[in-house]
């Protein structure tokens, strides 16, 4: 299954408490909570390019399944990570105490971020 496509955020759960726990300032959290971000994914075999645009903020990450890479977090911090694929529709990465699971089902992509006992869930639809 190919992840390639553009996805618009439809809903999210626990945005504010999760962003606070990450250390984002309140003004950034308030600005970002109602913006429908657009995620663009380009998959070429095991290589991925992911661009997430939220208002004026653009987050860009590239990785190859199973190889160490540098990824930019929501805070702007760059961390080393290895992204693994489970089955043919799930990407899993551990970034500095944060677990990211991205699952594709048809035209719906669900991204779940877990840090300790806090979970932040984003559901986006292919556009």
Which two three-digit tokens encode residue 112? 């779940």
Distance CA 39, CA 66 (A): 22
Q: Find the CATH number of the domain harbouring 10.
A: 2.40.128.20
**67-85 residue pLDDT tens:** 999 999 877 889 999 999 9
Alpha carbon 43 to its chain's center: 15
**25-51 residue pLDDT tens:** 898 888 888 888 999 999 999 999 999
Please tell me whether residue 14 adopts helix, strand or coil conformation.
coil
Entry pTM: 0.91
Distance CA 70, CA 96 (A): 12
Q: How many domains does the chain have?
A: 1
Number of residues in the chain? 127
**1-11 residue pLDDT tens:** 699 999 999 99
| DSSP letter (8 states) at residue 25 | -
Provide the pLDDT for residue 88: 92
Distance CA 122, CA 6 (A): 15
> What's the domain range around 108?
5-126
Distance CA 3, CA 88 (A): 10
């Amino acid at each position: 299954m190919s992840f390639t496509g553009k996805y618009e955020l439809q809903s999210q759960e626990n945005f504010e408490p999760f962003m606070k726990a990450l250390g984002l300032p309140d003004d950034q959290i308030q600005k970002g909570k109602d913006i429908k971000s657009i995620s663009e994914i380009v998959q070429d075999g095991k290589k991925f390019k992911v661009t997430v645009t939220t208002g004026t903020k653009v987050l860009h990450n590239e990785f190859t399944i199973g190889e160490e890479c540098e990824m930019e977090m929501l805070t702007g911090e760059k961390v080393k990570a290895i992204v693994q694929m489970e089955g043919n529709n799930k990407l899993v990465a551990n970034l500095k105490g944060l677990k990211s699971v991205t699952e594709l089902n048809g035209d719906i992509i669900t991204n779940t971020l877990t840090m300790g006992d806090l979970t932040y869930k984003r559901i986006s639809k292919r556009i």
